[in-house]
Amino acid sequence: MNEKAHRLATAIDHVGVAVPDLDAAIEFYRDTFGLELAHVETNEEQGTREAMMRVPGDDGTGTAIQLLAPLGPDTPIGKFLERKGPGIQQLALRVTDAQAASDQLRAKNLQVLYENPKPGTENSKANFVHPKSTGGVLLEIVEPAAD
């Protein structure tokens, strides 16, 4: 493995879980596993209402569970739920530069969904690698917002 590819991802940022009811899912992860609600927002462009759940004491550098509820049936998460039901929808890898990571992945002939990263949760920059390029897993690359 070359050194540059080795440095592409800096951490597992989060695991995205598609849910039909965001409030019920927040309650489940809080009451069952003791996770804390770190952030909730609506992403109109992606058609989701989403929440980040973290273990107590996580300062945002650990791995989160991102709960994703659709704003409607014709959104990507709405369609995912219709096809597969609730469950893991994507695995997100943290990167320092989402545009450079997108370009590097594209240069490796991977199918990157967007030409340029799009706004993600908490003002991050995000792009996705199609499951056909990754052995069946939708991978998200996430550049956290600058502090």
pLDDT digits (tens, 9 = 90+) for 63-106: 999 999 999 999 999 999 999 999 999 999 999 999 999 999 99
Say which amino acid occupies 66.
Q
Tell me how far apart the 2 most distant CA atoms of the chain are, in Å.
44
pTM assigned to the model: 0.91
Q: How far apart are CA 86 and CA 144, in angstroms?
A: 26
So what's the pLDDT on residue 2? 52
CATH T-level topology, domain 3-143: 2,3-Dihydroxybiphenyl 1,2-Dioxygenase; domain 1 (3.10.180)
Q: How far apart are CA 132 and CA 94, in angstroms?
A: 21
Q: How many CB atoms lie within 10 A of CB 138?
A: 20
Reduce the DSSP state of residue 30 to 3 states and report it: helix
Where along the chain do its domains lie? 3-143
Q: How far apart are CA 24 and CA 22, in angstroms?
A: 6
Q: How many CB atoms lie within 10 A of CB 98?
A: 23
What is the pLDDT tens value at each position of the chain, 147 positions in all? 455 545 799 999 999 999 999 999 999 999 999 999 999 999 999 999 999 999 999 998 999 999 999 999 999 999 999 999 999 999 999 999 999 999 999 999 999 999 999 999 999 999 999 999 999 999 999 999 987
Q: Which residue from 33, 25, 74 is spatially nearest to 50, judged by alpha carbons?
A: 25
Reduce the DSSP state of residue 15 to 3 states and report it: strand
Question: How wide is the angle at C-alpha 64 spanned by C-alphas 62 and 68, nearest 5°?
Answer: 160
